Chains A and B, each alone.
Chain A
């Protein structure tokens, strides 16, 4: 019980410090929401022009989640890049609490900020495109939404080791951002993708999360399918978190042996 409490406390403290350090530079939020906002506008406008019925599940939820992912990935990735530039990455590594908990706290902090981007998408949809947001089952929506956010955080944690060793983090962030958005089918169903891509899509937890979110605006009773999706998301999220911990520990060891951490 004690280790769980202390680990949880560590993660929450990291989250708090990350959020406080961001408040020292409030323009960060504007900087990191410009690109997601434009993606949101393009998606919303495309659906608006096509006058499709599925505006909310795909355009609104999809573009909001896409923006949230972009904010989480760029925020967490950039924080490691800044540590590297400032020369504090090594101190992070030698900290006895372990790098993984530190990264997880940061990823949670940035995903929290990413929720503001989701809020932007909802605001644009309601006030600019005059689309009422009606959810048939709000409890299921909240559960599916939270699980989708956590699955993105877990996926981000799986990719985090790359930012520790990559010299060109911004370019890596750009490629990973759109790669995940393409495969997870955030603004379109996975069936639109070629069959080979679909196989990859179904190994990603956010794909199932997005599907569950879309069911919450459906008037048909799909509780069994939503439950199936929830179970798959939880299982995949746990797998990502376990693998990410092993990867971070392995990279930590290699980096200490090679001594090549700080190369800008």
Chain B
């Protein structure tokens, strides 16, 4: 257990490049503000104050993806860039433990990102939340962060196989802006795109968060949350088997450290 905790903290701190305080400040405080601002002002121009609030709230919730998707993909895929994939795979350490340790702290930190995003949304973009609503939304964000871990680990496993981790990370994270109901309702997407929306756990988490924003309680959305958790577990299992599959494939080919 102690080893697991140590692995979780080390992989978060070292692999997500948090060693530099300026980087941390840029990624946690500065970048989220401008992302939210860009889409909020776009929403304001297109649909007035309601459009601005819709986009600001959606993009604030999406910020958890910075950790649970981008962070997790980097934590796994960057081993190849650093040339440490071979030493990692020859250790007898439990693969599931290695797999999970890369993601678990990101899930917690993702909720912290959402909190920062919601502060911006409330202070600058006219989103109105009571303390009770805020508490419930943060709880939903924490749950959604954990369910999105599976999504991040799925792409992280794939990033072991490809040359460019950055491309996988960007594709995995930024596509969420389009398909998860962040800037416009999922119902307005064409049907063939909506299929993708319902594969991602964030779509359900965001639906619950918007329901809380409009006055519902978290208890009213329990069936949806249960489905989200179950689906997140399924993605986690698929991601784990994909990790094992790519590990074996790279070992057989002898291309563990080819970049």
Contact = CB atoms under 8 A, between A and B. Distances in A.
Interface of A: 27, 30-31, 34-35, 38-39, 41-43, 45-47, 49-50, 52, 58, 167-168, 170-172, 174-175, 178-179, 181-182, 187-189, 192-193
Contact of B167 (A31, A189, A192): A31
B34 A47 contact: no
Contacts of B37: 178, 182
A165 to B, nearest CB: 11
B222 to A, nearest CB: 31
A25 to B, nearest CB: 9
Contact of B178 (A45, A187, A192): A45
A192 B164 contact: no
18 contacts: A27-B167, A34-B171, A38-B175, A38-B177, A46-B43, A46-B183, A49-B46, A49-B184, A50-B46, A167-B23, A168-B26, A174-B27, A175-B31, A181-B34, A188-B44, A188-B45, A188-B46, A192-B45
Contact of A34 (B26, B47, B163, B167): B167
Given A49-B188, A181-B38, A182-B37, A42 B164 contact: no
B170 A42 contact: no
A179 B37 CA distance: 9
B38 A178 contact: yes
Interface in B190-241: none
Contacts of A52: 46
A174 B174 contact: no
In terms of DSSP, what is the predominant structure of the interface of chain B?
Answer: helix
Contacts of A42: 39, 177-178, 183
A31 B163 CA distance: 11
A172 B30 CA distance: 10
Contacts of A31: 164, 166-167, 170
Given A168-B23, A192-B41, A192-B44, A175 B30 contact: yes
B118 to A, nearest CB: 18
